Every structure is written in structure tokens, then in C-alpha cells.
Amino acid sequence: MAKTLGVPRPDQASYMLRAASEDAGRAYKRQLLDLLDLRPGHTVLDVGCGPGTDLPALAERVGPTGRVIGVDQDPAMLATARELTAAVSTVSTVEIRETDAHALPVTPGTVDRARIDRVLMHVRSPAEVLAQLHAATRPGALVGLVEPDWDTLVVDAEDLETSRAFTRYTTEKVVRHATVGRRLARLAVRAGFRVETTTATTPVFTDFEHGDHTLGLGRNMQQAIIDGHIDRKRGEAWFAGLAHEPFYASFTLVTVVCSRP
Ligand SMILES: C[S@@+](CC[C@H](N)C(=O)[O-])C[C@H]1O[C@@H](n2cnc3c(N)ncnc32)[C@H](O)[C@@H]1O
């Protein structure tokens, strides 16, 4: 049956947990965890922790003398995060706080490690959030930043021009700071950090349903057509064609680990 546009938004909290458990999600998250060099007793901050995907692993590394602070502005995400961390809260202190990343609720200079994973692309001002992180961390602290670069989104289709138009629409109209991934090192240095490592990974989607959910193919194509950016006939044919042949889509995810001098 032909695929039609306008797939509804999945439940975001459970969707993010599922995405994180898949190969591409697991690989970069584990790499970041290792690069952050967490030690027992550390205070670690997860900015935009979402459904708490990474909080149990952070709690395990900082142990009973450590402290994990997860912040997010979305109460529904935080409800899932509380459920997910209920068991680990007995092992180390896990605090979950509803707050905006532009106003981090921590005593300045007290954070040993921090991570911000696919959040800067959404915030009002990535530079302000990094300034907040700089104030929150102590000298010698390590901060891990992970963001996609949506200019690198490729979707295989017979109609290459429409794939290119879809990527352009995503970067220009859908994601607030779509190219923040490539700018991470520059932004970090401007905020007063020193860049320790810069790496990139390429999540690959070979399953149409998974790619559609994660990349918003049907949802965003429908909006691009409504907005007059892509011709309806071409856009609908492009989307319908994706489900019929082997599927390939990918994008680049940039990880920068920096230190607070
Ligand atoms: C793509 S999810 C990533 C969640 C989590 N970091 C992970 O890797 O699973 C983005 C999260 O950023 C949060 N977020 C976006 N803007 C925010 C802001 N200004 N302050 C706090 N959280 C924000 C959203 O509520 C959402 O939970």
C-alpha cells in the first residue's frame, strides 16, 4: 500500500528511549560517557535530559557519593525520567528539575561533568546555554556536547532534487539551529572552554518506518508542501517511493568534549 503523508508525532518520551537503545544511539552515547571520564563522587549535570535516557549510566559511574542532576523544560519528559531513575536514586543522588537550559539551577562552579545531547539545536540561544554551563562548572571540569548537522541529511530517492529540497526545508524551516553540530567547537571556545576532542558519527537508517519517525520524513514533507516549498505531486511521489525500495538515510552527529580552564 502506498505511504501517505502526515504521520502523527510519536510519543516523544518513549520514542527517544527507543531511539537511544538502537545501535547508532548506543554507540555515540557510550563513547561520550567514556570521554567524560566520570569518577565516583562527581557532580554531573545532564542539560535537556529528556526522558532520562542517560541518567542511570551517569549514576552508576558517580556512585553513592556522587550526584546526578537532570534538567529539562518538558514535564512529560521529566515524569518518564523520574520513573526511570526511581531505582538508581538509592545508589546515588539523582535530582530531576524542571527548568530552562538558559537558567541552570546549580550553584556556580560546582559541577564536575556535564553533558548536553541534541538540545542546543532547539534552544533560543546556544551561546547563552554554553555560558550558563561555563558558570556552572568548576575549573578542570569536562563538558560533552552532541548535536546533529541537518545540512548533512541525505535520503536516497530516485528524485534526488526533492531529497535535496527536503534537506533544505529541514535546515531552513524545521530545526531552529540546524547546523549547530559543525559550530560546536567554535561556540565552546567563545564561551571560554578549551576543546579536547571533536568526533563525528553517522547514524544510518535502513528501515523506512524508523527513518520516517526519527527524521520526520512524512510530517515535514507535508508541511513543506503546505508552505509551498515543494510541489505537492513531487513531494507525495517522493514519500510514497521511499517505502518501496531498500531504504537509506543518514546524517552527521558531532561530538565535542571540552574542558573548563
Ligand atoms: C532530542 S531530546 C534529547 C533528550 C536527551 N538529551 C537524550 O539524549 O535522550 C531534546 C530535549 O531537550 C529539551 N529542551 C529543549 N529546549 C530546552 C530548553 N530551553 N531548556 C531545557 N530543555 C530543553 C526537550 O524538552 C527535550 O527533552
Cβ of residue 144 lying under 6 Å from some atom of ligand 1:
no
The stretch 21-26 carries a mean pLDDT of 68
Distance 158 CA to ligand 1 centre (A): 34
- Does ligand 1 have an atom closer than 6 angstroms to the CB of 191? no
DSSP of 121-150: TTSS-HHHHHHHHHHHEEEEEEEEEEEEEE
Distance between CA atoms of 32 and 14, rounded to whole angstroms?
22
> Can you tell me the mean pLDDT for 120-137?
98
Mean pLDDT across the chain: 92
Residue 169 has what pLDDT?
97
What percent of the chain lies above the pLDDT cut of 70?
89
> Does 112 contact ligand 1 (Cβ within 6 A)?
no
CA of 50 to the centre of ligand 1 (A): 5
Q: Which domains does the chain have, with CATH numbers?
A: 12-259 (3.40.50.150)
Please tell me if the CB atom of residue 12 comes closer than 6 angstroms to any atom of ligand 1. Answer: no
Pocket test for ligand 1, best of 22, 73, 150, 175 (most atoms within 8 A of CB): 73
* Dist. CA 110 → ligand 1 center (Å): 22
Question: How high is the pLDDT of residue 244?
Answer: 86
Whole-number Å distance between alpha carbons of 136 and 157: 46
Q: Which residue would you say has higher pLDDT here, 9 or 203?
A: 203
Bridge partners (DSSP) listed for residue 199 = 255
Query: Does residue 164 have a pLDDT over 90?
Result: yes
What's residue 245's pLDDT? 86
pLDDT at 204: 92
pLDDT band at 26 (very low <50, low <70, confident <90, very high): confident
Ligand 1 contact via 73 beta carbon (within 6 Å) = yes
**What mean pLDDT is predicted for residues 132-157?**
98
CA of 72 to the centre of ligand 1 (A): 6
Lowest mean pLDDT among 60-74, 84-98, 201-215: 84-98
Task: Provide the percentage of residues in the chain whose pLDDT is more than 90.
Answer: 84
> Average pLDDT of 106-123?
97
Read off the pLDDT of residues 192-202 as tens digits, 9 standing for 90 and up: 999 999 999 99
* pLDDT bracket for residue 13 (50, 70, 90): low
DSSP codes of every residue in the chain = ----S-PPPPPHHHHHHHHHHSHHHHHHHHHHHHHTT--TT-EEEEET-TTTTTHHHHHHHH-TT-EEEEEES-HHHHHHHHHHHTTGGGTSEEEEEE--TTS--S-TT-EEEEEEES-TTTSS-HHHHHHHHHHHEEEEEEEEEEEEEEEEEEE--S-HHHHHHHHHHIIIII-TTTTHHHHHHHHHHHTT-EEEEEEEE--EE--HHHHHHHHTHHHHHHHHHHTTSS-HHHHHHHHHHHTTS---EEEEEEEEEEE--
Task: Give the distance (Å) from ligand 1 centre to CA of residue 124.
Answer: 12
Pocket test for ligand 1, best of 69, 84, 119, 129 (most atoms within 8 A of CB): 119
**Taking 60 as the threshold, does the pLDDT of residue 11 lie above it?**
no
Q: How confident is the model at residue 6 (pLDDT cuts 50, 70, 90)?
A: low
Q: Is the CB of 50 under 6 A from ligand 1?
A: yes
Question: Closest ligand 1 atom, CA of 16?
Answer: 9
Give strand pairing partners of 63: none
**Is 70 exceeded by the pLDDT of residue 9?**
no
The answer to whether the CB of 20 is under 6 A from ligand 1 is yes
**According to the model, what pLDDT value does residue 2 have?**
52
pLDDT band at 150 (very low <50, low <70, confident <90, very high): very high
Q: Which of the pair, 109 or 27, is modelled with greater confidence?
A: 109
Given a cut of 80, is residue 85 above it in pLDDT?
yes
User: Which of the listed residues 29, 72, 115, 150 should we mutate to test ligand 1's pocket, taking the one with most ligand atoms within 8 A of CB?
Assistant: 72
